[in-house]
Amino acid sequence: MQVTELDMLIRISLAFLAGAVIGFERASQRQVAGLRTHILIAVGAALLMLLSIWLPQEFTAMKTGDPGRIAAQVVSGIGFLGAGAMIRLGNNIKGLTTAASLWLIAAVGLAIGAGMFFAAGFVLVITLITLILLNRLERRLFPAEWNKLLEISFNTNNPEIPELKACLRILRSFAIRILSMDVDQGIGKGKEKGKGVRLRLFVGIPDTTDITKLVMLLKTQSKVSRVEMKEKY
């Protein structure tokens, strides 16, 4: 079947709508790749797919033309944009889902460009279900975590004080996972030199945790002199 200019217009318009749907959802989540990025990728992929089909059609002498050759380059080339959508925040990586959505919307654009409207529409619906509905379910079942280095200093040289165990109970009550733990003794300076215990914890903190409330509760322990939370590099 010959691809006419009307076919091209319809397919590129559909690619625009597909990119806008996914891009709007990503923009609503304040992701680095939002509405415009997804639209441009979907429309560009559709145009390249149309070009792959149109070249052998227009130049009949190209009997060995391969409509899938340009599409294959789109699939590999989109990885650069996906890498740019990912951000490293300390020990945490953000943007993996957005990078995947960029790769997927390129595939949807290619499918629309090739005239596979049913497949492209079905994938679009599945993608929306994954990004919106499954996101809520995943957050409820598996809350996102931030990996932090938590340091709690005590003004005593005894590592077996009740306050230390109390701090661990507080952390557990906030559903904080302790990934590793270390105790330093003799951390005091000046007049307190040789005194003091520091509890160093590498923890996984749910992103719904009230950090201020957690720190204030830890500081209510009588022997706690300092609470510090930072990234671990």
161-209, pLDDT tens digit by residue?
Answer: 788 888 889 999 988 888 888 888 766 555 555 578 888 888 888 878 8
pLDDT in tens, 31-49: 766 787 788 788 888 888 8
The topology under which CATH files domain 145-230 is Alpha-Beta Plaits (3.30.70)
Whether the full predicted model's pTM is greater than 0.75, yes or no, is no
pLDDT in tens, 89-144: 555 566 777 778 888 888 888 888 888 888 888 988 888 888 888 777 777 776 67
Q: What are the contacts of 154-157 at 24+ separation with CB within 8 A?
A: 154/196, 154/197, 154/198, 154/199, 154/223, 154/224, 154/225, 155/188, 155/192, 155/195, 155/196, 155/223, 155/224, 155/225, 156/195, 156/196, 156/197, 156/223, 157/185, 157/186, 157/194, 157/195, 157/196, 157/197
In the structure, what pLDDT confidence band is assigned to residue 85 with cuts at 50, 70 and 90? low
Sequence ranges of the domains in the chain: 5-141, 145-230
pLDDT of 233 above 50: no
